[in-house]
Amino acid sequence: MKLCIIGFGAVGKGVSKVVSMKKEMLIEKYGLDISVVAVTDRSGAAINPDGLDVELLIETKEKTGKISDYPEYGVSNISSIHVLDDIDYDCLIEVSPTNIDDGEPARTHMLKAMQDGKDVVTSNKGPLSLNFSELTNASDSTNSQFKYEASVGGAMPIINFAHETLAGNNITSVLGILNGTCNYILSRMANEGSPYLQTLNEAQELGIAETDPTQDVEGIDAACKIVILANSVLNMDVSLKDVTVVGISKITPESIALAKKEGLLIKLIGVASHDNLEVSPRLVREGSPFAVDGTLNVATLRTDLADDVTVVGKGAGSIETASAILSDIISIWKART
């Protein structure tokens, strides 16, 4: 299987590392021989129809910041769309930066690949939270397989889990902690009694929070994931504007301490049901499945046959997110062979 990777930040590099680490296992277990034939970033691309050296790709990006500096096969100032036009590949891995204003350019990349009959795997929440129906309809009409497990919860299995493991169940709602940055901040505030801004600064120093943490701490990232779950798991047709969102920036150490006296914790909880699409701070009981610390994510799916089923996993990290992308690649390969 020939991969084209658009975006070579933490997740793109993680996918390359995982493909390299698991190369022999994938051949032995699945007969799946993966080669990366093209990679793009803002600087241009590296293209080799016979396959690029994954370790050299990562080394080049980390040394120069430009994938176009890849020896011999680097190309400056070429757009990702031109790369998709020019190369022979089987599956697009779309992991470019998330844009929640209009989903671009990832939306265009994915639609282009689908129109060309290519399969698509993404972790990109922007187009999925704004253009879900358009993308799934395009996939259906062109017989392109479209997978996006990594877009919600990083390594936490939830979308494929709902569709495959819980097949036959009627899933009525999903309730979860879907942002690792917020969970880290609230966990630290509860454990240390520290104020919000101090804890946010600490999270930024550790690389857990972005330099501009707005999408995380104001609940927007979690709201994107609620939209994806509502559309994919509950078969709704909604977008980001349909979610009521309250973040964590106004939570005080005093309110957390008061909750702890009652055996409660404050967590940022996302809810997806046919009656409610919401992200907001809520009280959860200590010792409950939602009393997870650090950057962990957790989600409970309410079903008619299996009752409540809860999954937990790391919600961030390049290798963790890449593991979900790899599982989607394997799923596509199984369906195609």
- Cite the active site residues: 225
Is 245 within 8 Å of 280 (Cβ atoms)? yes
CA proximity to 127, closest of 97, 153, 156: 97
| CB contact set of 33 (below 8 Å; sequence gap of 6+) | 1, 23, 26, 27
CA angle, 307 then 150 then 317, to 5°? 110
Task: Quote the radius of gyration of the chain (alpha carbons, Å).
Answer: 20
> In a 10 Å sphere around its CB, with 0-12 CB exposed, 13-18 middle and 19+ buried, how is residue 150 labelled?
buried
Distance, in Å, from the CA atom of 43 to the CA atom of 215, rounded to the nearest integer, reads: 26
